[in-house]
Chains A and B, each alone.
Chain A
Amino acid sequence: MATITCERITKRYGGVVAVDALDLTIRHGEFMVLLGPSGCGKTTTLNMIAGLEEISEGRLLFDDKDVTWQPPHKREVAMVFQSYALYPNKTVRENIAFPLQLRRTPREEITRAVTEVAEQLEIGHLLDRRPSQLSGGQRQRVALGRAIVRKPSVFLMDEPLSNLDATLRLSMRSLIKHLHHRLRATFVYVTHDQAEAMTLADRIAVMKGGLVQQLDTPEGIYARPANTFVAAFLGSPQINLVQGEIAPDGSFARGAFRLALPPGAAQPGRAVTLGLRPEDVGTLAPGLARLEARVDLVSPLGSETHLEVVAGDDVKLTLRVPKEWRAQEGQVIAVGVDPARLHLFDATTDARL
Chain B
Amino acid sequence: MSGALERRPGPRRRPALGYDERNAAILVFPVVAVLLVVAAYPILYSFWVSLHDIVLTRPLRRPFVGFDNYLRIFDDERFWLAVSRTTVYTVVTVAVTTLLAVLVALLLNEAFPGQRILSALLLVPWATPSVVNGLMWKWIYDPTYGLLNALLVQLGLLERYRAWLGDPDLTLLLIANAAVWKQMPLAALLLIVTMKAIPDDLYRAAKVDGANVFQRFIHVTLPALRPGLMLVLVYETMISIRHFDLFLIMTQGGPGDASFTLSWLIYVETFRSLRFGTGAAMSYVLAMATFLLSWALIRWLGKRI
Contact = CB atoms under 8 A, between A and B. Distances in A.
B15 interface: yes
Contacts of B12: 59, 66, 68
B11 interface: yes
A59 B6 CA distance: 16
Interface stretch (A69-77, A124-132, A327-335): A69-77
Interface in A13-39: none
Contacts, number: 26
A65 B18 CA distance: 18
A68 B20 CA distance: 13
Interface in A69-113: 69-71, 74
A258 B10 CA distance: 60
Interface residues of B, number: 11
Nearest to A73: B19
A70 to B, nearest CB: 7
Contact of B11 (A54, A64, A66, A71): A66
B14 interface: yes
A10 to B, nearest CB: 13
A54 B18 contact: yes
Nearest to B22: A71
Interface string B17-55: 011100000000000000000000000000000000000
Contacts of B19: 69-71
Nearest to A56: B14
Interface in B193-211: none
Nearest to B9: A66
Contacts of A70: 10, 19
A67 interface: yes
B20 to A, nearest CB: 7
Contacts of B14: 69
A69 B15 contact: yes
Most buried by A among B1, B6, B10, B14: B10
Contacts of A67: 10
A70 B12 CA distance: 11
Contacts of A74: 1
A69 B18 contact: yes
B22 to A, nearest CB: 10
Nearest to B18: A69
Contacts of A64: 9
A68 B18 contact: no
A64 B11 CA distance: 13
Nearest to A55: B14
Nearest to B7: A65
A74 B14 CA distance: 17
Contact of A65 (B10, B15, B20): B10
B108 to A, nearest CB: 29
Nearest to A76: B1
A65 B1 CA distance: 13
B2 to A, nearest CB: 11
Contacts of B6: 65
A67 B10 CA distance: 7
Given A54-B18, A71-B20, A74-B1, A65 B9 contact: yes
A65 B12 CA distance: 11
Interface string A160-202: 0000000000000000000000000000000000000000000
Most buried by B among A54, A64, A67, A69: A69
A68 B12 CA distance: 8
Nearest to B6: A65
A331 B11 CA distance: 69
Contacts of B11: 66, 68-69
Given A67-B10, A68-B11, A69-B15, 14 more contacts: A59-B12, A64-B9, A65-B6, A65-B10, A66-B9, A66-B10, A66-B11, A66-B12, A68-B12, A69-B14, A69-B18, A70-B10, A71-B19, A71-B20
Please name the 4 residue pairs, one residue from A and one from B, whose CB atoms are nearest each other, closest first. A66-B10, A71-B19, A66-B9, A69-B15
Interface of B: 1, 6, 9-12, 14-15, 18-20
